[in-house]
Amino acid sequence: MTVVWINGAFGAGKTTTARELIDLIPNSTLFDPEIIGGALAHLLPPKRLAEAGDYQDLPIWRRLVIDTAAAMLAELGGTLVVPMTLLRQEYRDEIFGGLAARRIAVRHILLTPAETILRERIAHREVPPDLPDGEMRVRQWSYDRIEPYRAALGAWLMADAHPVDNGGLTPFETAARIADAVGTGAAPVCEIVQTPEPTAETIAAGVLLFDEHDRVLLVDPTYKAGWEFPGGVVEPGEAPARAGVREVAEETGVHLDDVPSLLVVDWEPPQPPGYGGLRLLFDGGRLASADAGRLLLPGPELRGWRFVSEEEAAGLLPPVRYARLRWALRARERGAALYLEAGVPVG
């Protein structure tokens, strides 16, 4: 099962190309996530919708895109062609990572017409006459998103996707080029770690590693949004501390000589669709400057790493994970492990 995700700025011609592409790729089906956005207007209260400037900012939209794509492929098989602009890397990680967790390969295509062509196409887009504020909602919306597209293009899009310059091509010619790139493998499957979603509570072990300034190491996974501690889920029959050591070696290339000491045990309550479970943080100690300079990051799993202060971590970690870090640092100072529930010490 495969997804061909056609990305690009608004006005790049994604949907018209996708309609042509399903005739060129055998056993393929069109799935436009705009349908999910439209459905949310009937599913969510107006107040919740008003809180998001774009339906992509709603976690439920990203979740439903993943679940719907997986359900369609389970029903139909073959290839799903998805025309949808994704300009935020963390949303790309979440959606593509969620598909990879379901063993669905993703081929990421980026349409790259010149900006002058984009603006010309936007200027000539049809505005439904019965759409309130149609000019603003259709044309100006597209114009306003050229700058985020330009920023994403310079930051990560070109490294992540297979580009197709369709500035001088018809939708059919564009689709033919995409079909050829998919068929020959010129548009490769995205390298995303396939992390199956849990079906029950899990135990996860993280390891805190420090530099000579006592800043803590955080890593940026490619398969989910947000920064994290080195570590991962404990496998059946595996000791949690040993799991942390294994994950650190796999993710960073750092091999710890000693079993790390426990800092916190945090019970994470279930929050659908998640099952929660125990989250353990261990003290991996201070890395020598030479070791810190030789950190290795396998491309399919981690995008980046950095050593941060406690204050800097607050802007990178989700609130519960940051609370877990704060208490782990207090436990390290005091030399005594702490038991937490949802990031709050008890007992």
Whether the Cβ atoms of residue 107 and residue 190 lie closer than 8 Å to each other: yes
Task: Classify residue 228 by its DSSP letter.
Answer: B
Q: The tokens of 134 are what? A: 């149609």
Whether the Cβ atoms of residue 319 and residue 312 lie closer than 8 Å to each other: no
Model pLDDT for residues 164-211, shown as the tens digit of each residue: 999 999 999 999 999 999 999 999 998 775 566 677 899 999 999 999
Residue 68: its pLDDT value, please? 96
Contacts of 292 (CB under 8 A, 6+ apart): 211, 212, 307
Residue labelled with tokens 């490294």:
159
Residue 90: its pLDDT value, please? 86
Whether the Cβ atoms of residue 145 and residue 53 lie closer than 8 Å to each other: no
DSSP-H helix ranges across 253-307: 289-292
What's the rounded Cα separation, in Å, for the pair 296 and 340?
A: 32
Task: Classify residue 195 by its DSSP letter.
Answer: -
- Of 101, 141, 126, the C-alpha closest to 273 is 101
Share of the chain above pLDDT 90, in %: 59
Model pLDDT for residues 200-259, shown as the tens digit of each residue: 899 999 999 999 899 999 998 876 667 999 998 899 899 999 999 998 988 888 888 889
Model pLDDT for residues 284-301, shown as the tens digit of each residue: 999 887 666 667 665 566
Residue labelled with tokens 């509570």:
201
Q: Which residues pair with 4 in a beta bridge?
A: 81, 107
What's the rounded Cα separation, in Å, for the pair 19 and 220?
A: 35
Model pLDDT for residues 318-343, shown as the tens digit of each residue: 899 999 999 999 999 999 999 999 99
> What is the pLDDT averaged over residues 55-79?
94
Contacts of 328 (CB under 8 A, 6+ apart): 208, 263, 264, 281, 283, 338
Task: Classify residue 138 by its DSSP letter.
Answer: I
What's the rounded Cα separation, in Å, for the pair 234 and 7?
A: 36
Residue 165: its pLDDT value, please? 95
Share of the chain above pLDDT 70, in %: 90
What's the rounded Cα separation, in Å, for the pair 240 and 233?
A: 9
Residue 139: its pLDDT value, please? 72
Q: Output the pTM of the full model.
A: 0.70
